[in-house]
Amino acid sequence: MQTELKFLLGILLGISSALFSTLFAVLNGKFVAEHNASTISFYEFISGVVFISICLFFTSDGFDREFFNLSLSDLGFIFILASICTAYAFIASVHVMKYLTPYTLVLTYNLEPIYGILLALFLFPESETMSTSFYLGASLIISTVVLNAIFKQKSNKIKS
């Protein structure tokens, strides 16, 4: 069976993303034991803004007036996305690390692309172009998450 080797760059970026996501979760798991989730998130968001600003400054035409030309409705949507969909969700995920292991959290992070693709299939069913490899990979990820939950539940029963 031939996998999607024509997407080698995407595969390599995905693997490096998984590596950094795992490292990020492990570090957050250690930080949350000593610090407040909001404080951790604040410093991480500020670092992200600084990093992205530097990247934009050096890789594009820089910041010009057109870059910041947003309508009032765009600003409203950006505020909703930034405050609720990003900041609140991220702070909550860091807070949850007090109760879940980084391993469990990374497993659930791996479900995000599957949710996105399933949502796209729901919204645009006529555009479905996923190969059998995708469905095998998605099944593997979902079964890993389910098996992790089953093993943790059995482990907790044994400890009790």
- Lookup result for tokens 């044994």: 158
Same domain, 13 and 90: yes
Quote the number of domains for the chain.
Answer: 2
**Would the pLDDT of 21 be above 60?**
yes
Q: Which residues contact 126 (CB under 8 A, 6 or more apart)?
A: none
Same domain, 18 and 81: yes
Q: Compute the distance between CA of residue 33 and CA of residue 97 in angstroms, rounded to an integer.
A: 9
pLDDT in tens, 74-107: 999 999 988 888 888 889 888 988 888 888 887 7
pLDDT in tens, 24-73: 888 998 999 899 999 999 999 999 999 988 888 887 766 677 777 888 99
- pTM score, whole prediction: 0.64
Please give the full DSSP string across 75-140, using - where no structure is assigned: HHHHHHIIIIIIIIHHHHHHHHTTTS-HHHHHHHHTTHHHHHHHHHHHH-GGG----HHHHHHHHH
Same domain, 72 and 83: yes
Residue numbers of the domain that contains 112: 100-159
- If pLDDT is split at 50, 70 and 90, which confidence band does 1 have? very low
Same domain, 83 and 11: yes
pLDDT at residue 134, as a whole number: 79
Domain limit, last residue, from 70, 98, 126: 98
Same domain, 66 and 115: no
Domain limit, last residue, from 77, 98, 119: 98
Same domain, 65 and 122: no
Same domain, 76 and 120: no
Q: Compute the distance between CA of residue 46 and CA of residue 48 in angstroms, rounded to an integer.
A: 5
Percent of the chain with pLDDT over 70: 93
pLDDT at residue 3, as a whole number: 58
Domain limit, last residue, from 82, 98, 114: 98
Same domain, 92 and 104: no
